[in-house]
Amino acid sequence: MADVADLAGVSLKTVSRVVNNAPHVQPELVERVLAAVSELGFRRNPLASSLRSGQTNATIGLLIEEIANPFYATIAGAAAEVARQHDTMLIIASSEEDPAREEQLLRDMCARRVDGLLVVPAGDDHSFLRAEIELGTPMVFLDRPAGGLLADTVLLDNRGGARAGVRRLVEAGHRRIGILLDSIGVYTMRERLDGAQDALAPAGVPYDTRLVRDGVRDPLAAARVVSELLEGPDPPTAFFSLNNRITLGVIEELHRRGSDAAVLGFDDFDVARLVPYPLTVIAYDTRELARTATELLFHRIEGDRSWPRTVVLPTELVARGAPPR
Amino acid sequence: MADVADLAGVSLKTVSRVVNNAPHVQPELVERVLAAVSELGFRRNPLASSLRSGQTNATIGLLIEEIANPFYATIAGAAAEVARQHDTMLIIASSEEDPAREEQLLRDMCARRVDGLLVVPAGDDHSFLRAEIELGTPMVFLDRPAGGLLADTVLLDNRGGARAGVRRLVEAGHRRIGILLDSIGVYTMRERLDGAQDALAPAGVPYDTRLVRDGVRDPLAAARVVSELLEGPDPPTAFFSLNNRITLGVIEELHRRGSDAAVLGFDDFDVARLVPYPLTVIAYDTRELARTATELLFHRIEGDRSWPRTVVLPTELVARGAPPR
DNA sequence: CGCTATTGTGACAACGTTGTCCAAGCCATA
DNA sequence: TATGGCTTGGACAACGTTGTCACAATAGCG
């Protein structure tokens, strides 16, 4: 900047004024400075700028579990889009579901003085962020609530969606429903399971824990569990899979066996149309989830200091897949 | 930091030494400083640090077309993983295939003094980056080559993969092959098309431009084009779709019609196993692509100043999908 | 013509760090 | 006791920028 000032024959401060479009600079000087800027290829260093001004550095952080997962990729895409509308860069970090790593990454982002933070929580204690929040870094949690912290949160209606889906199964006469889930340790899974129970009880269908299988991590495991349940005594006539990875495995196995069990799956997926089996999915708008959260974050960044909000977005039942063979 | 120094009763510089694990500080003082640090909740500001030291700021930038696209999401995931191994943060920005936006984002990232840049090019002129490269910001291009710039590049063997796939179709006796592509303006599409021609010519199969359809943007369009070709005179007996979005549409339409045309698709996709149609895909390792590029970038960051390299990764033919009904 | 507004410009310090350099203290050796 | 080396701590400037303030130049007024 000093070089530019020398070349243009003005003071360093005048250069600063020009590059910041500050008022009260003679048009002629502006011209000279701009000429010098482009001659020297000068570009303002936003880091130094935000160091001095203490103001925003036009960066927000997004913490997710795993970028390569389409759910989080969609979130990242929507967040990036909103960020871009606010001329803000997005830093993305993956916690890989590891609470220790999550804490380290969040601290690191705060140390970088991001303007705000979007967090899909992995751990269940986020009280270490309280100091940051009080220090003025706005944060919005999405998909899952923060642990031990009152903060803005945007969630899906996991429980309501599961309740509506299972109610439909029950109304269709199913009394034995196999339920497959990834991990009961995850908030969304617990909510979905609670929703299923909500729907069973009033219909007088007993909640049979032998039909509920935790720890189903991938399609292969799902296929195996379906086999077990179908070959056991008093097999289920319907399956409720609590995420789309599981749904794929369930369908594959049912298709292979030529079974006609009903399938209800939480999470939609793009190729669902192509799947050779009829199923009902509990769908939701992932982009909307992220968009809502990011917009809330920018409200906070722009100074909204009102009481923390919790927003719950609706889910929808959708019929998918090819009709049975 | 000054507050910490006061509380610990040492000089500011000593605090700096402690937080940087510098040698030659009395263990007792280290203790006092650390106590003060945790009491005051002090955290080093890496931005100010890198401003002063002029050294790395432990951040690399990744420019892709669109985060929500699984291909780019996978790239981002692999890049993030390698970055993490180097204790480096990853900034991700989407160009949305817009060259002007690409230029702006790349300039912005350079202004933020990232340690290096990973770029999936959207535009076809990147000469504006020459100044940055000379200024010492390492860059690696992946999936597509940079335009008008000699730089490190990691590519897939698009042409070879297409050649091998089409050769197999030809060897199976197909003489009329419908080819569907997204946009001839994209480098990878041109390469794949060239590969197809490479395989047709030596087998004496004419390259019939009426069978080549550009501008097929989504599965629906692909289905429509398949219909047209099949209903036209002298319909194709095989289809080569140049990306997986198109493959989905092609299969859906063929399945609907009960056709038994052969399908060759560029790009693998996770649910390919479930697809109710036999197909051959040209697969490749997206994670490996990104990993190779990111590791090359870190070599450069760590001081490798050798001549720019171009790495081409192989593709593989894989049989996928259910056997015909 | 002197007086005050108004506008344009620049000197200076500060943001939070760290590199450089010097000084003080200590010990060992001659 | 004097000399030298080694360890440790601190003063200072600098990284690239901007906020504050003061000053100079111009215009407007009686």
Residue in B12, B20, B90 with CA at minimum distance from that of residue B53: B20
CATH number of the domain that residue B39 is part of: 1.10.260.40
Question: With contact defined as beta carbons under 8 Å apart, do A178 and A238 qualify?
Answer: yes
Q: Kindly report, residue by residue over B132-163, the tens digit of the pLDDT.
A: 898 889 999 999 999 999 999 999 999 999 99
Q: Is residue A67 part of a domain?
A: yes
B151 and B162 within one domain: no
Shortest distance between the Cα of A229 and any Cα of chain B, in A, equals 22
B68/A77 Cβ within 8 A: yes
B90/A77 Cβ within 8 A: no
A247 and A170 within one domain: yes
B199 and B278 within one domain: yes
A38 and A129 within one domain: no
Residue A308: what pLDDT? Answer: 96
Q: Is residue B325 part of a domain?
A: no
How many CB pairs below 8 Å do chains A and B form together?
A: 132
Checking if the pLDDT of B272 tops 50, the result is yes
Higher pLDDT, residue A307 or A113: A307
Percent of chain B with pLDDT over 70: 99
A194 and A146 within one domain: no
Q: Kindly report, residue by residue over A45-103, the tens digit of the pLDDT.
A: 888 998 888 777 789 999 999 999 999 999 999 999 999 999 899 999 999 989 999 99
Q: Is residue A323 part of a domain?
A: no
Question: With contact defined as beta carbons under 8 Å apart, do A118 and A63 qualify?
Answer: yes
Q: Which residues does chain B have within 8 Å of residue A51's beta carbon, measured at their own beta carbons?
A: 45, 47-48, 51
Q: Kindly report, residue by residue over B52-82, the tens digit of the pLDDT.
A: 887 778 899 999 999 999 999 999 999 999 9
Q: Is residue B50 part of a domain?
A: no
Q: Which nucleotide is nearest to B54 (CA to C1')?
A: D15
The B 52-91 residues near strand D by Cβ under 7 Å are: 52, 54
Q: Is residue A50 part of a domain?
A: no
A274 and A162 within one domain: yes
The mean pLDDT of chain B is 92
A22 and A81 within one domain: no
Whether any strand D atom is under 7 angstroms from the Cβ of A183: the reply reads no
Q: How far is the CA of B54 from the C1' of D15 (A)?
A: 7
B182 and B107 within one domain: no
Q: Kindly report, residue by residue over B274-312, the tens digit of the pLDDT.
A: 787 899 999 999 999 999 999 999 999 988 999 999 999
Q: Which H or E run includes A301?
A: helix A286-301
Q: Is residue A321 part of a domain?
A: no
Percent of chain A with pLDDT over 90: 76
Shortest distance between the Cα of B202 and any Cα of chain A, in A, equals 36
CATH number of the domain that residue B248 is part of: 3.40.50.2300
B86 and B28 within one domain: no
Residue B108: domain span: 58-156+286-314
B294 and B239 within one domain: no
Q: Is residue A319 part of a domain?
A: no
B57/A77 Cβ within 8 A: no
Residue B323 pLDDT class (50, 70, 90 cuts): low
* Number of folded domains that form chain A: 3
Shortest distance between the Cα of A112 and any Cα of chain B, in A, equals 6
Q: Kindly report, residue by residue over B29-52, the tens digit of the pLDDT.
A: 899 999 999 998 888 888 898 888
B279 and B163 within one domain: yes
A66 and A124 within one domain: yes
